[in-house]
Structures are given as structure tokens and as C-alpha cells.
């Protein structure tokens, strides 16, 4: 089980980040905290589901493809949070998904603008 928790002193919202690449997960968690989000990290669908059952999140930011499934496995469990997908696959972007999708490498300003707008609508 690979779960991380990082907290900020301010509260822009609570985010669950699901990313199997440890380096990318650590970098994104640091960026989230630097922008005053409380952030938990998970490396797999199973880890994410444990966190979703234990905590309430304002948003879930997830890689599309994970070692034990895809974001589709999480979507049914993300009822009270907004979902944003990050992927390296252009096929996913063209798939008409019902949530925002960002490709890697991530455009950081555009991503955080989307996150802020998404949370303000929630």
C-alpha cells in the first residue's frame, strides 16, 4: 500500500491524487500543497478506494491508467468529489469523457485554473 498525506496550513480544498509514478505523484503533491490544498496521494485504484472510503475529498485528480485498473474503476466511487484526469494517452483525450482531461506533460497553470474553477462550481 502506497499512500501519502501532505497538508498545507491554509485550506483551498482537499484533493486525492492518484498517480502510480512516485516521482510524478511527489511533484504534484508538492505543487498542490504549495497552492494551499490539502492533498493525499495514492499509487493504485485499491489505495485510492481505501482513502475515498475513509475521507471526504473536494476533488480527485487521477492518472487514467493505473497498475490495477483505470480511472473508470474510480469514477463510480467519486460521487461527492469532482474528477479530473491526467493521462499520457492521446486516445483517452479523444474519448469524450465526462470530466476534464489533461495530457502529460502537464500544463501546470492551465491545470490549476481548471481545478480552481471546478472546485468553485462544486
Q: Which residue has the higher pLDDT, 95 or 34?
A: 34
Q: What is the pLDDT of residues 17-65, one digit of tens each?
A: 999 999 999 999 999 999 999 999 999 999 999 999 999 999 999 999 9
The pTM of the full predicted model, rounded to 2 decimals, is 0.88
* pLDDT classification of 113: cutoffs 50, 70, 90: very high
CATH topology of domain 3-121: Rossmann fold (3.40.50)
3-state SS string for the chain = CCEEEECCCCCCCEEEEECCCHHHHHHHHHHHHHCCCEEEEECCHHHHHHHHHHCCCCEEEEECEECCEEHHHHHCCCCCCEEEEEECCHHHHCCCCCCCEEECCCCHHHHHHHHHHHHHHC
The pLDDT assigned to 114 comes to 95
| Average pLDDT taken over every residue of the chain | 88
- The full set of domain ranges for the chain reads 3-121
Amino acid at each position: 500500500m502506497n499512500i501519502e498525506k501532505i497538508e498545507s496550513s491554509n485550506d483551498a480544498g482537499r484533493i486525492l491524487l492518484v498517480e502510480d509514478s512516485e516521482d510524478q505523484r511527489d511533484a504534484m503533491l508538492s505543487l498542490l500543497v504549495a497552492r494551499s490544498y490539502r492533498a493525499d496521494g495514492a499509487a493504485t485504484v485499491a489505495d485510492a478506494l481505501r482513502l475515498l472510503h475513509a475521507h471526504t475529498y473536494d476533488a480527485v485528480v487521477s492518472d487514467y491508467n493505473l497498475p490495477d485498473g483505470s480511472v473508470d474503476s474510480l469514477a463510480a466511487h467519486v460521487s461527492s468529489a469532482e474528477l479530473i484526469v491526467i493521462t499520457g494517452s492521446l486516445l483517452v483525450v479523444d474519448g469524450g469523457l465526462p470530466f476534464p482531461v489533461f495530457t502529460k506533460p502537464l500544463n501546470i497553470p492551465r491545470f490549476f485554473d481548471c481545478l480552481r474553477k471546478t472546485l468553485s462550481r462544486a
